[in-house]
Chain A
Amino acid sequence: MADHPSSASSAPALGVGNRQSVTRPETPRPDEAAGKQPQQAHAPEPPRLHRVDITGALRRDHVFTHVVRAAGLTILALLAAVTVFLIARALPLATSPRGQVARVISEASGGQATTFAGYVGPLVFGTLLVALLALLLAVPVALGVSLFIVFYCPARLRSLVSGAVDLLAAIPSVVYGLWGGLVFVPSAFGVADWFARHLGWIPLFAGPAADPPRTVASAAIVLAVMILPIITSTCRDLFGQSSLLLRESAMGLGATKWETLRLAVIGPAKNGIVSAVMLGLGRALGETMAVLMILAPGRTYSFNLLQASKSQTIAADIAAQFPEADGLGVSLLIASGLVLFVITFLVGFISRRIASGPRRHHEWGRHKEIGKQAGVIEQVEGQRRTREQNDDERLDELAARQSALFERLGAAARSSYPRRKAKNTLMTVLIWLCMLIALIPLVSVLWTVIANGIGRLDWYFLSHNMKGVVGGLPPHGGILHAMIGTLEITLFAMLLAIPVGVLCAVWLVEYAAGTKPAAVVDFLVDIMAGIPSVVAGLFAYSLFSVLIGPGTVSGAIGSVALAVLMLPTVIRTTEEMLRAVPGDLREASYGLGVTKARTIWKVVLPTALPGIVSGVILAIARVIGETAPLLITTGVLAGTNWNLFGGRMMTLPVYVYQEYSQGLAACPASGSALAAGCVSSIRSERAWAAALVLILLVLVLGLVGRLIARSADQKKGR
């Protein structure tokens, strides 16, 4: 494997290196040189090095070192800024007169609390309750679906099913909110009522069931649908990487399929599964829009899942209260945002500890790279690398696992064969069932959005904004301004996040690996990854209101919030891809006397590029549907605004939410001159059509990302 890409991608580097050479009379063409490159790399001509004008190259190398270090330290500065600005905006809560604070808190909680602890306590409880319940529902199904995709799915269907799961992940939360609030909730009462009637003796299901069931149970189910694909896609990758040898050993010993999966696939991947679950938990804790649009909130410490007005989450509370909050009220919300931040941070921290497991060391010539097993992807990559590079170590591990397997199988074999066989059949059925269960929401969401949205989706809708639109009267308006806003804000967020992110990853992997500062920055990236989107919005809002002046509104503020959300993903993906670049490539380049900066720029980055690009595109797909931070920062506007740095800007997700929130349009009495063509339900029709466009947009982006990733994989010869 190492031969193939190295010859392809270091060829340009060789050419570049030769251009610096002043003595060599004939430079072989890069293409010709490519084949012989390894030999040349190990046999540079000593006298030539002395006569090369290396001052300039070294200076550039020096500058580059500083640039990447600066990028690495930017993370430090950024996180410090997030913390400082949030704390600064929350501080008045602690410094203002007690009575005044008590009044604001009482006002915000409807008189149910007068202290911050009393305010945020039930919200913390509600946040954890909803998120944990969602997790409880999602994890078994996610495991089933990933096992199905890897081991049960007919080969022809595999990419289709896999794509369907990715599609679930790509649907923006505001669309889940629409679907949950308008489709799921009204249809869920029958089931909720059945539970309350027949299982009401269990305190969790105590009735009477709320009708409509805008309850913790409903919110948790929708959240479960949202985090299902996140857990599934990481577990799918984990399982796909499981050892064939181990599986075959188990099968060879007469294990049933289920026993094989349990012992040879799920067992070894336990750490990875746990951290995938934590990833899902982090997402569930910070989810705003879906909860906001589904849950009937309350402020109690209650486990009654089927009753309304019992719980509320921090994120949804912030989004619900922010528009009317003022002065101290904003401080209160930002303080509760900080609490949410701390919670998600702790979750991230724990998952990191769990996933880190045994550390692996790799030698890349002069580089000593300590593989930090921060995320699940890293774990997968780590396993792959280990397999490729450290076969011996791997075999030892395998042998150990195998002997464990033998022992456990021996234990399993003691129970009767028909029972084992029955269990196997049961698990097969359950796994198929998981797949079907996961497909129901997907089909329902897509069907609802398409059926409701297709009617308004035409060229007029795409090519007009909302300026001049009056109530339900024709003209009925469109989303051109929202598409322009989304495009500009996302592009600017990319511009902010990608260079810094990529350079930071370069610093972490190529320069500072193993050092204290790198460990700190690495840790901070994890913290950043845990920032809930609504908190990122609050940060951007606070930052600009302090720096530029209160009441500043522009698309760029939204870009800052989105960039904060994108940055950790970009860094992690790039790090991963850089680590996947074989060390031989770097050594070959150094051997030719190429500076480190040039090696990175011309050899390492180009090799890693396709992987980086596909990771970045997935990060974009993730932020392009973000609603909560944009609702706080960019405002809404009926007309088209091309200027990212001045004035409000409409974006697609905000448009969907805005149109939904406006409810019915009043139509003039039928006798009036204005009554012709008036559509009372026009706003929800526009919301659905815009949701459809948003899904299509995210879908296309995701597809492009996957195509790039696939072509990159093919290039690598996998």
Chain B
Amino acid sequence: MLAALVAALLVPVLAGCGDNTPPSLPVSASMRRVIGTNALRVTGEHAGIGSSAQQASMEAWAAGYGQYQPQAVVAYDPQGSGAGATAFLQGAVSWAGTDIPLTSAQRSRSTSVCGGRKAVDLPVFVSPIAFVFHIDGLRGAHISLSAALIAQIFSGRITWWDDARIVRANPALASKLPHLRITPVWRSDQSGTSQIVSSYLAAAAPGQWTTDTGKTWPYAVGQGAKGTAGVATTVSQAQGTIGYVEKAQTGSLGTVALLQGSTPVLPEQAGASAFVSKAVRGLGTGSASSADASAKVTDLTLSPDYADTSADVYPLTQVSYLVTCPAGASSVSASARGFIGSWLYYIASRQAQDLSAQVAGSVPLPRTLGSRIQQMGRTMLKEVE
């Protein structure tokens, strides 16, 4: 009896400490040639810290990457963007995820961990942020709101759902909008998502949104809730609520279409993709013109134009970054460089981006951007060979 119990307890312990057999994710031969075990061997744990927004994608990518490098352990600690940047700059981790690119001061400090070079921000995760609302009478419908209206709602200047300004923006729903108090719901913790929403409102409705665009939500109208899940839960718990969450968290809640000019644009892949592509075009050609392209890597920080009102873009789109040392950073060990190179090559690939779109609700990177990041990964891999 006792022996059986001990055996039962030991079985999971012996079987790799309870690791799961990951779902069979897509594998391609071309990818295997570059980052498979025949090309290089990555072992040990390679932990990253950062934004909780990226966690679901990182989970999926860690599993996908594991199919090429089964000996490698990729761990992601979603403590937050700030914690990620801090840990990276202290040299505690070799890569971090952050919703906000490093500040110039942080980038100057990064030279101490990157052997004299400055760290790079690589956009790897794109997701539309959706305004979600909960009104039982409007199940399945989309309310259209302009940035100016949203700014007025969240700063407490529009307080009823049947306000004339909202009705004017939604002629089709005019009779359905209830006489119900609006409860705005926002993130009570410091978050990159709050900062992006705030930046968007400041850019697209400058007359209505005049506060600082920090990580802390500037108004105390309505209710704050901890984390994306807290916002989604709070919105779903009462009538008349409206809040902002990542697209993947919208669940069965109604989503708001942003009025771009007079065209309502939903938080879908197409609009977000178009928005990021425009921002990528603003990047220029970067290192291609430089004499030593392999060593010099430009930072890929995007400066998206949130004030863009074209009818084909969804401007409330979050771009999250992976922060790491560039190729040629002498202080990075060969094994870490091998990992970072292959990791970048994998997560910027079409395959990984599609996987993340499916299981984490993100939007695939524009092809040009993806291939530039893959190129950086290859450069690092070449250094290891």
Contacts and interface: CB of A to CB of B under 8 A. Distances in A.
Given A293-B230, A308-B222, A662-B229, A640 B19 contact: yes
Given A208-B181, A551-B93, A329 B18 contact: no
Interface stretch (B84-92, B270-278, B340-348, B375-383): B84-92
A182 B20 contact: no
User: Residue among A550, A648, A664, A667 with the most chain B CB within 10 A?
Assistant: A664
Contact of A662 (B18, B55, B219, B234): B55
Nearest to B18: A480
A472 B224 CA distance: 27
Nearest to A481: B18
B188 interface: yes
A288 to B, nearest CB: 11
A46 to B, nearest CB: 55
A472 B248 CA distance: 12
Contacts of B62: 638
B233 A181 contact: yes
A29 interface: no
Assign chain B's interface to a size class. 35 or more
A464 to B, nearest CB: 4
Contact of A674 (B81, B233, B358): B358
B359 A674 contact: yes
Interface in B48-95: 49, 52, 55-56, 59-60, 62-63, 66, 73, 75-83, 85-87, 90-93
Interface string B175-208: 0000001010000111100000000000000000
Interface in B316-359: 358-359
A639 B75 contact: yes
Nearest to B218: A110
Contact of B360 (A108, A471, A680): A471
A354 interface: no
A463 B211 contact: no
Contacts of A665: 56, 248, 359
Interface stretch (A320-328, A363-371, A410-418): A320-328
B136 interface: no
A72 to B, nearest CB: 37
B78 A296 contact: no
Given A111-B212, A308-B222, A639 B23 contact: no
A550 B90 contact: yes
Interface string B22-66: 110100000000000000000001010100100110011011001
Interface stretch (A90-98, A155-163, A297-305, A494-502): A297-305
B95 to A, nearest CB: 13
Nearest to A669: B358
B97 interface: no
Given A473-B359, A663-B228, A186 B92 contact: no
A296 B358 contact: no
Interface stretch (A164-172, A210-218, A396-404, A562-570): A210-218
Contacts of A427: none
B137 interface: no
A324 B241 CA distance: 26
Contact of B224 (A186, A296, A468): A296
Assign chain A's interface to a size class. 35 or more
A240 B243 CA distance: 52
Contacts of B87: 551
A106 B215 CA distance: 11
Contact of A663 (B75, B220, B232, B359): B232
Contacts of B83: 323-324, 326
B226 interface: yes
Given A635-B79, A666-B360, A321 B17 contact: no
A17 interface: no
A464 B12 contact: yes
Contact of A469 (B20, B82, B91): B20
Given A468-B63, A474-B23, A665-B56, A648 B17 contact: no
A123 to B, nearest CB: 13
Interface of A: 106-112, 181-182, 185-186, 189, 208, 210-212, 214, 292-293, 296-300, 308-309, 320-321, 323-327, 329, 463-475, 477-478, 480-481, 484, 549-553, 635-640, 642, 647-648, 658, 660-669, 672, 674, 678, 680
List 8 A-B pairs, minimum CB-CB distance, nearest first.
A551-B92, A323-B80, A663-B229, A324-B190, A640-B17, A296-B223, A666-B361, A468-B22
Given A212-B234, A326-B82, A551-B87, 19 more contacts: A110-B220, A212-B237, A293-B230, A296-B223, A296-B234, A308-B222, A323-B80, A324-B82, A468-B66, A475-B23, A481-B18, A550-B92, A551-B91, A635-B49, A642-B17, A661-B226, A661-B229, A663-B249, A669-B358
5 contacts: A638-B76, A662-B56, A663-B228, A664-B248, A665-B248
